[in-house]
Every structure is written in structure tokens, then in C-alpha cells.
Chain A
Amino acid sequence: MTDKKLLMGNEAIALGAIEAGVQVVTGYPGTPSTEALETIIRYADRCGIYTEWSSNEKVALETAVGAAYSGAKALVTMKQVGLNVASDPLMSLSYIGVKGALVLLVADDPGPHSSQTEQDTRAFGHFANIPVLDPATPQEAYEMTKLAFELSHEFEIPVILRTTTRVSHSCGDVEVAVAEPEPVEAVGEGFVKDRRWTIFPRLTAERHPWLEGVQEQLSERFSELPFNSVSGTGKIGIIASGVSALYVKEAMESVRYSEELFTLFTVGTVYPFPEKAALSFLKEIDRLIVAEELDPYLEEQVLQLIGKAHLPVDVYGKKNGFFPVGGEYNVNLVTDGINLALSAFGESLRLSSAVPAISKEKLPPLPVRAPTLCAGCMHRTVFYAFKQAAKQLKKETQADTIFSGDIGCYTLGNAYPLNMVDTCLCMGAGVSIAGGLSRTNPQAKQVAFIGDSTFFHSGIPAVVNAVYNGADITLAVLDNRTTAMTGHQPHPGIGLTALGSASKAIEIADVVRSCGIEFIKTVNTVEADSLGSCVKAAKEAMNFKGPSVVVFKGRCAGITKSGKYYEIKPEACTGCGFCVKELGCPALNLDADKPVIQDSCSGCGLCAQICPSEAIGIGGVKL
């Protein structure tokens, strides 16, 4: 029985996967992809779906591959940079193929809002010979998920469902075929031994022509699918995919009879490019505008096709400066790009944009509100401790300290006034970058920060390398017992699986000890007087010759509160503002030049420990 639900794009994908009969789901959290697996977790027991948070995306994909080799339908979820981590198995897998079905949800992040890169998974699919579907709405995401499983099973090839933030994190009304997810079928015969599962140069050479052949077959099939559609009869063509197609439609609504002026080709199955459908569209138009976020992927596809078919169609897109090369698109930006193109071809017509009541230029100066560590976050204590330790070492030995950060909430240690992140690149890179810096800046101390989940994701090989090659670095593990930035998922150090059942908790100190680290300290940051012991451990570790590790254990203020709050004793406070200026804690503000502690205080006690006048104390208990 069909039903209508308000679903986030990621939730719609989860429900589509369950309807498609997914049996094994793996992934690593990453904005904006995380809620897809989280939604499956809610139904995993009831529907009989094996679901796990894996230690990283490569492991997640390989686990899903094993399941798909056994005839299972598998889904693996990650963000776009996660695909880079998983690209090694994926590139080989394209030659081997799968037996059941294997769908990768890869969420891109134009903007970017919460990512290191603005890479485009449509182009990645092209590079890897992996088909890519590109939905525009939660409804389409739901339907395309089911299509992805069908295609993967039929063509025995992994399929990428590629979303962007405005699809994955958009909520919309979605018509679902089944009101409540039903149990999925059990996996059939299981793994059957066959030489096809063992990649070998000869097998790769044999499979390469098959792989290229599948691309052609899929391009043919895609040309017939309703997810690629043509609307309008105008001589000015526009091509778009994903959410950009909706922006184009809305931009065109500003002119009357737009369907007589424009023909819009919406591409839902972006790779392999549906050449046949595109050709019949291109033959009916004189000029083509390409509106797409991120890479000029469609633009390159149509330019190639126009060349191949010798069509007299000029193309207006990113490559000739009509649309911005990067950033997230919206209706206004698409309107401007189309108008620029219209003016270039001498058309008098323009799409109109609404005039706001007040334009941006007329606004008064507004406070900058950069994202920052939460009130009571243990990372603030550790960063502050290292800042103090580095200051002391500078005084004592003139040595500077370089701080390498990593990916997670603690990247926010870069914010003013902490300023404690000098480098940040990708998951797990901080430790190895510190190693490289130590070779070229021998006079400086090297400190790398890494979170607990990131440590398990890709920090361990870097620790092994530091020991193996004797790098003089200090690794500070910020162990807040959760994957905080993506919404508090468990990880191998917690002792809980994705479904919340007990598992073996892996101790980070034990891991680094077995890697051969000789200086290991564990410091508890939960106690309200922990700053002193944090500074002491930081300094000892930095003074140690060779690789050293300090594991700072604490809690994430986002999920566990101390139960206390602090307040300022007005009679003792001199109004020096030291607490506010030093810490950048969102619970601390200057009000008429006197610090005030806000309701959001979660009682870490860091401000009380640094107040020169001892004017901050526990105010009471908070529920």
C-alpha cells in the first residue's frame, strides 16, 4: 500500500534500498551522507538487514563487496571524500563486477558546507567506469535507489547513487510504495568459488573489453529511461542534472511561453551519458546552455557528442565563463548564467529575478558567527593545554611548535582565539604531515591532533610509520568516545556496534603500544581540574625524543553533560575578560565589559581554572 511521508533525501534512499531488498549495509559517517545508514539501522533488526559502521570507507566497500560476491544485495554509504578512500577497491571491482547487487551512495557537497573538496562524483564514475545516477529530489532519490539495485544486479556492476547536499539533506513529501518497510529475503546460495573473483593481470585484460561493453549497453538503456526527459520546443537548449535542473525550471518560470523559447534536457542517469537521447535533443536546438554544479561534466559530454556528430550547436557553460566553476548553485545564480548566455547570443529576452525588499549591500555590519567548539567541549581544554605547554617550551628552549590538525569537530581548534591548527588536509593526515614537517623543521616541536574515530579510520598506518622511521612527533588523541561531528556514531573504541549491541572495545593506548610507541600517557579530561595534568602530559610528551602519544579521554558535550554549571562571582571578578579572550567558549560573553556565563554552560570548569582572580565557581546542578 502506498503512503506519503516527509522524508529527508537520505531517509528516502534508505527506504528505497530496503524495498529493493538490501541485505547488507556498510558505511562510514560523513556529511551529507550519514542519515542513510542511520535510517537503515532503525529497521535493521525488524527487516533482517546486516548493518555496520565500518572503520573506514575502504573497509566498508570491501565488506559490501564480499557480500555482493555471495549474491547479496549490498549498499555502502559515504561522502565524496570517502570515495577517495574507497577508490582502491572500487577501481579494481569495476573489472571483477558483482553477483548480487552493489550500490554506493556517495554524497557530494557543493559549497562546500562540510567538506575538504568540491569534487564531483559524476566525473569519478566516468573515470572508474561505474554508472552514476543523479537524483534531484528525495522522491527521485527513493526511486533511483531501487533502479540502482536493478541495474547493478542485471549488469553485474556496482552502481553509484550520487547525491548533493540539497538532495541528501532536503526534506520533501515522498510517495513510497510500501507504508512500513518489510523484512527482506535471506541471502540465497552464498559464495560460489570461481576464478572470476580473483583479480589477476590476465583476468583484468580479459575483463576490460567486457567493462567497456557494459558502458555502451548502459548508455543505450539510459537513453530510454524516464529519468532523462525533454520538455519544451524552443531552439535554445538547456541541459542540467540533479537539483540544478529544478533551479533551471524555476528560473524559466519568470518568462511567459518559456516552453516555446527553451528546450530543457534533464539528465538523471548521468554516466554512462545517454548519448542517443542527448543526440535527438541536440538535433532540435541551435544553442545549448549547460547549468550544472561542480565539474563541467555534462558540458564535456555534450561537447564531445557535438563534435562527434558534427552538429552546429554552440555551447555556453563553465568552460567559456558563463557559469561559476565552483560553489553551490541556486535559482539566482542559474538565472544570471542563462541571462549572460542570452545576451551573448544577441537575444533581447531576459529571465527576471525578484527584487528583494532589502538588498545585501544595504544591511548594517553583522557579527561574524563562525562555527566553533561547543561549550564544555573537551577539545578546548586539550588545545588550551598544548598552547600553554608550547609557550613554556618556547620560553625554556626557544623551540616553536607546529600543530597539525585532522578531520572532525577538532578542526574547529583552528578558530580564533585558540588558533591551534596549523595544517589540516584529510582523514588521518595530521600524524604523517607532522612526520614530514619533523624532517624539514628539526628545530621545531611537532604535535598532531587526531580524534578517536579518525584514529581508527586512517591514523594507525601513520603511527606505524612514525615508529618505523623514528619520527620525532607527539600525537594527541582527542578521545571523546564518539564520532561527534557527524552526529555521534559509535566506532571501534566504544564497545558498541551500529545497532547498539556490545562489541570488543579497542583501547587506543593498547594499539599504539603494540605499534611500538614507547611514550604513552592517558589523561582524563573529565575532572574539573584537569587542565594542569593535561599541560603536564603535553609537555612531557613534547620533550620526549621520538614518537610519543597522549590519549586524552573525555566526553562529548553534545551528548553527555557534566550536570553542573559555573557562574561568575561578581564580587571577585575584576572584569579583566581573560576567560572570554583566551577560550572563545560560546557560553562566555562580555556584557558591559564584565564576563557572563550563559545558559549553554555545560560545566567543564576550564574557565574557572584559568581565571586569574579565582572569580568563577560552580553555580549549581543542571538537569
Chain B
Amino acid sequence: MKYDILIAGVGGQGVVLASRMLALAAMKSGFHVSTAETIGMSQREGSVSSHIRIGDKVSGSLIPIGQADLLLGLEPAETIRNLPFLRKGGKVLVNTHAIPPASRPPGSPEYDPAALLSFLSECYPEILCSDFTELAEDVGTYRAANVAMLGAAVGARALPFSEETLKAVLDAEIPEKYRAVNRAAFERAMKCIRFISGT
């Protein structure tokens, strides 16, 4: 068994936390796991990604080009930036909530989220997208968008472990103060994706 997940987003969106939750759930399910995270200078509002490699064997933590089984995109442009990692037939889940870059140095392309989202749906007709930031905001805080996307991945049957295993990890890892709102975001996103994808 080998299952590679890439989470892409912007510094501050909780990519590292989401990746830790998936890694713990994979380990609990008896797999080896190896992650690579963006920590340090690039975290400051820059593009960030986490690679989570799950399998029967220990491997280097970086996913090779064209081998990710699942791409969890917390932001449209960052999703597209990481598309080359996705294997043919791999799954993509996208948070349609765009985060414009902090500044636009002369000569850098303009950010047109709508155009990028339509590029994504042309490339991947089966793509699952929703505004998970808004969904999280509705249940309490936009900050829970990362956990909402984990719920969405469960709803899309895109993870190599059970819903219960992941929920147990979330309950154990998220401080009590934030547990209820994260749980609510997780459940709502899971149901939302089940509804969209008809699973």
C-alpha cells in the first residue's frame, strides 16, 4: 500500500496542523508515514504545502511529480501550483475561497480566482469544490477551514483510513476550547461533499 497526499495553501491556513492529523490517523491505522512541511520564512503569508506519504514502507518525505493520490487545496491558486504532483486519476478537493497575495510586485500576474477555478474544473470535471472557509465561518470560525477540508476528504472517500480513526485523532489533538467548532466544521464539510458527490 502506498498513498500520497499533498495539502496546499497559504501560510496561516493551518496546513501543518491538517497534515499532522492525517499523519497521526495513518500511523494509528498501522501504516508508516512520512511528512514534509513548510516551516520558517516561507510561512509568513507565502505559499505552503505539506506532503504526507503513507504506506507499508518508509520513504523520503517529498512526493515525486505525478504521484500524489490526493490533492487537498485550501486555496485555488495554491491548488493549481501543486497540480503537477497529482497522478493521473488522482483526486482533487478545492476550497474555492481565494486569498489574494499581500502585494503585487510589478510584472507579476494578476490573480483572477474565477479564471483559475474554471481552469480546474476543465482539467478535472470530477473536481470537488466548495467554499470551506465560508462553511467554517458559518459554524463558528473561518480558521477551521483546514479541518473542514479533512471532513470533505472523508466525505469523498479519499482517505486510506476510517472516519472514526480521523475523528478520534481530532478529538485527542485539538484543544478542548476549539474542539466543538472544528468538529462541526468537519461534519458539515463531510455531509456537504457526500451530498455533492452523491456518495
Interface: A349 (CB within 8 A): no
Stretch at the interface among A167-175, A537-545, A565-573: A167-175
8 A Cβ contacts from A354-379 to B: 354-360, 363-374
A414–B40 Cα distance when bound, in Å, is 17
How far does the Cβ of A408 sit from chain B's closest Cβ, in whole Å?
A: 10
Q: Is the CB of A172 within 8 A of B33?
A: yes
How far does the Cβ of A424 sit from chain B's closest Cβ, in whole Å?
A: 12
Interface: A117 (CB within 8 A): no
Q: Is the CB of A356 within 8 A of B101?
A: no
Q: Is the CB of B66 within 8 A of A369?
A: no
Interface: B174 (CB within 8 A): no
Q: Is the CB of A372 within 8 A of B64?
A: no
Identify B65's interface contact among A250, A353, A373, A589, CB under 8 A. Answer: A353
A374–B45 Cα distance when bound, in Å, is 7
Interface: A584 (CB within 8 A): yes
Contact with A along B53-65 (1 / 0, CB 8 A): 0000011111011
Given A357-B89, A364-B119, A599-B142: A169 and B39 interface contact (C-beta under 8 Å): yes
A395–B84 Cα distance when bound, in Å, is 51
Which residues of A lie under 8 Å from residue B40 when comparing CB positions?
A: 31-32, 113-114, 485-486
Measured CB to CB, the nearest residue on chain A to B51 is A170
8 A Cβ contacts from B43-97 to A: 43-47, 58-62, 64-67, 77-78, 80-81, 83-90
Which residues of B lie under 8 Å from residue A335 when comparing CB positions?
A: 64
8 A Cβ contacts from B86-112 to A: 86-90, 100-106, 108-111
Interface: A431 (CB within 8 A): no
Q: Is the CB of A31 within 8 A of B109?
A: no
Contact with B along A100-138 (1 / 0, CB 8 A): 000000000000011000000000000000000000110
Contact with B along A426-440 (1 / 0, CB 8 A): 000000000000000
Pick from B10, B61, B77 the residue with the most CB of A within 10 Å: B61
Given A113-B40, A374-B45: A367 and B100 interface contact (C-beta under 8 Å): yes
8 A Cβ contacts from B141-173 to A: 142
Identify B23's interface contact among A31, A171, A246, A586, CB under 8 A. Answer: A171
Interface: A412 (CB within 8 A): yes
How far does the Cβ of B121 sit from chain A's closest Cβ, in whole Å?
A: 13
How far does the Cβ of B31 sit from chain A's closest Cβ, in whole Å?
A: 8
Interface: A6 (CB within 8 A): yes
Q: Is the CB of B103 within 8 A of A4?
A: no
Which residues of B lie under 8 Å from residue A409 when comparing CB positions?
A: 44
Which residues of B lie under 8 Å from residue A366 when comparing CB positions?
A: 77, 80-81, 109, 116
8 A Cβ contacts from B14-37 to A: 19-20, 23-24, 27, 31-37
How far does the Cβ of A324 sit from chain B's closest Cβ, in whole Å?
A: 15
Q: Is the CB of B41 within 8 A of A485?
A: yes
Contact with B along A315-332 (1 / 0, CB 8 A): 000000000000000111
The main secondary structure of chain A at its interface with chain B is: loop
Q: Is the CB of A356 within 8 A of B83?
A: yes
Measured CB to CB, the nearest residue on chain A to B98 is A367
Interface: B115 (CB within 8 A): yes
Q: Is the CB of B84 within 8 A of A247?
A: no
Which residues of B lie under 8 Å from residue A246 when comparing CB positions?
A: 58-60
Interface: B123 (CB within 8 A): yes
How far does the Cβ of A359 sit from chain B's closest Cβ, in whole Å?
A: 6
Measured CB to CB, the nearest residue on chain B to A587 is B102
Interface: A285 (CB within 8 A): no
Interface: A467 (CB within 8 A): no
Pick from A330, A356, A373 the residue with the most CB of B within 10 Å: A356
A358–B84 Cα distance when bound, in Å, is 5
Measured CB to CB, the nearest residue on chain A to B142 is A599
Q: Is the CB of A357 within 8 A of B90?
A: yes
Measured CB to CB, the nearest residue on chain A to B105 is A416
Q: Is the CB of B109 within 8 A of A356?
A: no
A172–B26 Cα distance when bound, in Å, is 10
Q: Is the CB of B61 within 8 A of A363?
A: no
Interface: B11 (CB within 8 A): yes
Pick from B11, B32, B65, B115 the residue with the most CB of A within 10 Å: B65
Measured CB to CB, the nearest residue on chain A to B71 is A357
Q: Is the CB of B39 within 8 A of A357?
A: no
Interface: A17 (CB within 8 A): no
Measured CB to CB, the nearest residue on chain B to A365 is B109
Residues of A within 8 A of B (CB): 4, 6, 31-32, 113-114, 136-137, 139, 166, 169-173, 243, 246-247, 249-250, 330-332, 335, 353-360, 363-374, 409, 411-412, 415-417, 485-486, 580, 584-586, 588-590, 599-600
| 25 sample A-B contacts, Cβ–Cβ < 8 Å, listed by A number | A6-B20, A31-B40, A113-B38, A114-B39, A170-B37, A171-B33, A172-B32, A172-B33, A173-B32, A249-B59, A330-B60, A332-B64, A354-B64, A354-B87, A366-B81, A367-B110, A370-B105, A372-B44, A372-B46, A372-B102, A416-B103, A417-B103, A485-B40, A584-B102, A590-B100
- Report, nearest first, the 8 A-B pairs whose CB atoms are least far apart: A356-B66, A114-B40, A354-B66, A584-B103, A586-B102, A365-B109, A246-B60, A31-B40
9 A-B pairs besides A369-B10, A416-B103 with CB distance below 8 A are A172-B33, A173-B32, A243-B60, A356-B86, A363-B80, A364-B119, A369-B47, A415-B103, A588-B102
Residues of B within 8 A of A (CB): 10-12, 19-20, 23-24, 27, 31-47, 58-62, 64-67, 77-78, 80-81, 83-90, 100-106, 108-111, 115-116, 119, 123-124, 142
